[in-house]
Amino acid sequence: MSRLDLAFKAVVLIALPVAAFGVGGWGLTKLSGRGDSKPSSEIACPEALQPLGQRLGYDAGAAGRYWDRVNTDVERKFLQFDLLFPFLYAGALAASLWMAWTLLGRPCSAAWVLVPVGIAALGDWTENLVQLAQLRRHGAGEPLQAGWMQLASTATSLKLFFTAHAMILLLGMLIAVFLRSGRVE
């Protein structure tokens, strides 16, 4: 296989999960109406409006403050749609990792390549399910449960870490493919 063919495959293998994240995130925002939703009040701390699923760590207080400032019906719809998102991004990332692993000649067990994607998807589902349950409590005027919100926060951090890990693994595997191709020719 020529280096040009490898370069094309590498671009496709990187573009697949990047496109899944981009298009999927855009679709979630549009379908849920999150992009159209405006905060209920102006606040001095703009990071308080950063969605919980994009934060490295939050607690029940931070979640309550966030949900006090957004349209909770839109947020609920977003979280429900977001339960489907891991199928898209994890599927695209797993497919790219699998193809890169195959290009490398399958040098290790497939589990080492695919488990990080599985952990990220499980973290995403856990995060969304717990947030949905706690958002219902918030909407009913009940206090958020600190332990459950800590679980959601940990799941969010795991999702972000293992998604980044899988992307770095993909890049590393593609670099290894190029380095090996240079030795063969």
Tell me the torsion sign for CA atoms 139, 144, 147, 151.
Answer: positive
pLDDT for 35 equals: 79
The domain in which residue 155 lies consists of 3-184
- Chain-centre distance for alpha carbon 83: 11
Q: How far is residue 102 from each of residues 32, 49, 161, 176, 178, measured CA to CA in Å?
A: 37, 42, 24, 12, 13
Please give the pLDDT value at position 9. 92
Domains in the chain, number: 1
pTM: 0.88
Q: Cβ distance 166 to 98 under 8 Å?
A: no
Kindly list the averaged pLDDT for each block of 10 residues, start to end, along the chain of length 185. 87 96 95 76 62 94 94 96 96 97 94 97 98 97 97 97 97 93 64
Q: What pLDDT is recorded for position 1?
A: 74
165: Cα within 13 Å, side-chain hemisphere: 16
